[in-house]
Chains A and B, each alone.
Chain A
Amino acid sequence: MSRIGVFVCHCGLNIAKTVRVSELAEFAATLPDVVVAKDYKFMCSTPGQEMIVNDIKQHKLDRIIVTACSPLMHEQTFRKVLTASGLNQYLLTIVNIREQVSWVTHDIEEGTAKAKALLNGAVYRARLLAPLTSRVIDVNPNVMVVGGGIAGIQAALELANTGKKVYLIEKNSTIGGHMAQFDKTFPTLDCSACILTPKMDSVLQHKNITMMTSCEVSEVKGFVGNFDITIRQKARYVDHSKCNACLSCTEKCPGKGTSEWDESLVKRKAIYIPFPQAVPQKPIIDKESCTFFKKGKCRLCEKACEQKAIDFEQQDTFVQVKVGAVILATGFDLMDTKPLVQYGYGKYPGVYNALEVERLFNSAGPTGGKVTLRDGSEPKSIAILHCIGSRDKNNHEHCSRVCCMYSLKFSHLFKEKTSADVYHFYIDMRAAGKGYEEFYNRIIEEDVKFIRGKGARVTQSADEPGRLVVEAEDTITGKFIKLPVDMVVLSSAIVPRADARDIARLFNLSTDKQGFFMERHPKLAPLSTMSEGIFIAGACQSPKDIPDTVAQAYGAAAEALTIVVKDKMELEATTAMVNPASCCGCQNCVRVCPYGAPSYNAEKRVSEINEALCKGCGLCASVCPSSAIIARHFTNDQVLAEMEGLMEF
């Protein structure tokens, strides 16, 4: 009852060498329901394809079997051929007699016999193929960018400029990320705020960007093109719609909290903005340090605010956001070096980590840009220790890539702002970016001393109290160096955010051994992930400098655009469907599906499958006891028929 056309490909000699293709075609002709059986040198070539189109029209074929290379190779090609000839593209079966037959045997008898068996199986299966039309769903045009650092800002601006609506979600009370904490950036030494704050403002002004600070993603539902994401808007206790940023409330506040922005080098008020150019420039109240929340009285800021913007009863609220694609740009954290007791971080006041030093340099920082030690004195000699926690099997095996360069930047700024001698304890000076080597040479000329040997220990100097001693070996001379210094800077390892694994679980991503987000392919798809429609950019994927981060932000924006620029999207047709007559309502499918596609309809007491969520894996079809679920294109009877055909000879 079906009219099958079998087309055997020689693939030049690739197949013909160990499979007698003409004999295979003759064998095919003898099989029931096979109307046309031909062999040709190159089926995937244009003449080969035309031969199929003509035969379909001439013999009114309704099933096509192409016996050639792997379906993973040319299934799409031949599906297009069927569509071109007016036949439904799913009425096609590919028999793999190249990768799995001709290339894996030298014996032409064996090869031909196996090819016949595989072809016979395909004929049994072809008889039961049904035409399928892939569903088309509409795509939500908006995009969400999680993380308001330079990567998130750049991606958001790119997308907004194309006219797309962007939701920028930032956990902190201001966007800007770590870059906003820096004073200068290498290698050009241009001021970080100068190049970043204009972008932050354009994000604020941009009509297409909805900036949501003090927000976190709490739940992700839906699928590519139709994500339904719940955002938790953390209570700020200040109504930003009323506040006009006069900041008079911050003057009166008695509360004392450690300033996270200044890496807890200094205290801040309970109601505060992290730094002057914060965007939005509106304060929030920190519950832990606010005396009202702690003791129940004060409310000075409320009195000071003419706009009546202070609202102590504010609660966390949840906002539902629908988007078509998501870019994760959640950035990095600096490793906590307290466990490395040999360096005395947290024990000796003279030991700083990299971000603390960045804040020291920053004019908006705790010391207004003056480089002073915690006791206020100016350091006379400074040691910068590279690779602390990085390139270390016992801590983080990866190289954090940017420490060499920012260490060099530090030494320049130290030389500029103080009269101190600056020493570097390094293993390799990695300056591979554009203009990096030149920057390194410039720093050498600024009379900075480089000791080739990893810092082994920092101790308090026995004879000069308050000073530190760095112990290391200068491997070039082989000498053991004990260097008395006033200040030690640890260029510690860059690690993923503390909550990176939770975000990965929310967006169904996997993370690598170190905890960074896993890209789909390290070389060919560095910005997309295994979850359709979720892209990554910046240090959350692996440590990188600002130029690479921005480049990745552009890339991720482009990838997100490929999805949201189309308003329709074709879904895979090989999804599953429930035959309600046979469904006994056991809900096994609902329990097992990783995508939540099946749902139980309580009145009809049967399950239904949302084909948009279904990925076509067929798990529900195999757990269904009354085999009521039809996994299109891999239905039970198609698989059984193919098995029967394979086992016949």
Chain B
Amino acid sequence: MSQAVTPYLEMSQAIMEAGGEALKKCYQCGTCTGTCPWTPITHFNIRKLVRYGQLGLDGIEEFMWGCSTCKFCVDRCPRGVEIIDVVTAIRNVYSGGGLLPQSLRSFVGSMSARGNPWSGDQAKRNDWAKEKYPLYSSDKEYLFWTCCTVCYDPRNVRLAKATAEILNQSGLSWGLPPVDVNCCGESLKKVGDLELFERLKNNNLDYFKSQGVAKIITVSPHCLSSFKKDYSEDYEVLHFSELIAKLVKESKLSPKKDFGGVKVTYHDPCYLGRHSGIYDAPRDVLKAIPGLDFVEMERSREQSMCCGGGGGGLWMEKMKGERLSDLRIEEALATGAKILATSCPYCITMFEDSVRTLNADDQIQIKDVTELVLESLEINIDEPVLDTCAL
């Protein structure tokens, strides 16, 4: 017996006021679900989520956390509905009532208390740099914005160091932000805590304004997208792969070490590709490194598959068989590549987990583009690599 439900329009009104007004444009054609990478492997159904939002039906909370904001559906939607904004709005309205899943509670708690998602001590933010690199001051050209993940996560610290070393090599004037800055808040916003996001954003903005920051380099596409879309426009924000591509083209950086023809394939992070439209820069860099045999995966560029880390996915536990990063690793292995290169700390983390759970870490290595460039410049930043699983 199907119990009758009545539309609860105040709820859909609230969702619309929280930024989801595109809700009303959807004519339920199902293209988004058909396109969504999660549909085949989970019971998450984005069209149904939007439908519940349209009529304000309850029971929405079970599957509103399935979306990793990979923007595949937004690109395909024939009505041009900004589905990510709808999802964010729904999460904002519902999470207000404390309906946050267990795995995200520590994430949001650390954000509000320590200004970073990794419960890392605020003061130790720049410890990875060991004072080897300069702090930003207004006379410098670039601010190298260190994403919290590359500050605190041992695996991703290598990205920060690699970037710093390459910047030194390039002769550009740059500097690090001080410890009192906090997370760019991209994932926090997608999780729905808009109020906290504003606070973190304003704190960063005050720092930018006080130092007269104009150009920002970041290694994380999430910071890139957050600065470009949610912060004010008067900053020129570059992903580090774009800068390397420019430097290589202007032959200010010349990769030397030959990798001996090893096969490499590239994964387009959703926030670098579909969100920010940068596809060719990382590929140009890889092709500039001698001895790398570049091969393209079947689902690449605009069709690239998500690693599952976006929209708070990095902090949510997913059951085995329901992880996109596993599928992506299999796709990479199918190309016969020995190295899976990408340019986002979230993807690096997700792939490192999957390659271990699939115990394929001997068949394929996960490398960030910056690491490959560093290696080809024959600069060694290695200390004993901590095994992240031990954490």
Residues of A within 8 A of B (CB): 341-342, 387, 391-394, 427, 452-457, 471-475, 478, 480, 482
Contact = CB atoms under 8 A, between A and B. Distances in A.
B303 A475 contact: no
Interface in B16-57: 27-31, 33-35, 39-40, 45, 47-48
A392 B40 CA distance: 24
Contacts of B76: 342, 456
A453 B33 CA distance: 9
Interface in B139-183: none
Given A455-B34, A480-B40, A475 B78 contact: no
Given A394-B75, A473-B45, 10 more contacts: A342-B303, A393-B77, A453-B29, A455-B34, A472-B30, A473-B34, A475-B28, A475-B29, A475-B33, A478-B45
The secondary-structure label for the interface of chain B is loop
- What are the 10 A-B residue pairs with the smallest beta carbon separation, nearest first? A456-B34, A453-B30, A473-B33, A392-B78, A473-B30, A393-B80, A475-B30, A480-B39, A454-B29, A472-B34
Nearest to A471: B34
B79 interface: yes
A393 B30 CA distance: 15
A473 B43 CA distance: 12
Contacts of B75: 394
B34 A454 contact: yes
A478 B40 CA distance: 12
A457 B77 CA distance: 13
Contacts of B29: 387, 391, 427, 453-454, 475
A394 B80 contact: yes
B79 A393 contact: yes
A427 B47 contact: no
Interface of B: 27-31, 33-35, 39-40, 45, 47-48, 75-80, 303
26 contacts: A341-B303, A342-B35, A342-B76, A387-B29, A387-B78, A391-B78, A392-B78, A393-B79, A393-B80, A394-B75, A427-B29, A427-B30, A453-B29, A453-B30, A454-B34, A455-B34, A456-B33, A456-B35, A471-B40, A472-B34, A474-B30, A475-B30, A475-B47, A480-B39, A480-B45, A482-B40
A396 to B, nearest CB: 10
A453 B79 CA distance: 14
A266 B86 CA distance: 48
Contacts of B47: 473, 475, 478
A99 B27 CA distance: 44
Contacts of A342: 35, 76, 303
B182 to A, nearest CB: 37
Contacts of A394: 75, 78, 80
A454 B79 contact: no
A482 B39 CA distance: 11
A454 B31 contact: yes
A588 to B, nearest CB: 47
Given A427-B27, A454-B29, A473-B45, A393 B34 contact: no
B35 A457 contact: yes
A158 B383 CA distance: 89
Contacts of B33: 453, 456, 473, 475, 478, 480
Which residue, of A341, A392, A454, A457, has the highest number of chain B Cβ atoms within 10 A? Answer: A454
Nearest to A481: B34
A335 B46 CA distance: 29
A144 B273 CA distance: 53
A480 B47 CA distance: 11
B34 A478 contact: no
Contacts of B79: 393
Given A471-B34, A475-B30, A475-B47, A454 B78 contact: yes
A594 to B, nearest CB: 38
A457 B34 CA distance: 7
A407 to B, nearest CB: 16
A475 B31 CA distance: 9
A341 B79 CA distance: 19
A455 B29 CA distance: 9
B30 A456 contact: yes
Contacts of A472: 30, 34
Contacts of B30: 427, 452-454, 456, 472-475
B157 to A, nearest CB: 38
Nearest to A393: B80
Which residue, of A341, A455, A471, A478, has the highest number of chain B Cβ atoms within 10 A? Answer: A478
A463 to B, nearest CB: 14
Contacts of B27: 427
Contacts of A482: 40
A431 to B, nearest CB: 18
A482 B41 CA distance: 12
A325 to B, nearest CB: 40
B4 to A, nearest CB: 18
A456 B37 CA distance: 11
Nearest to A397: B78
B83 to A, nearest CB: 13
Contacts of A474: 30
A509 B384 CA distance: 74
A480 B33 CA distance: 7
Nearest to A392: B78
Nearest to A389: B78
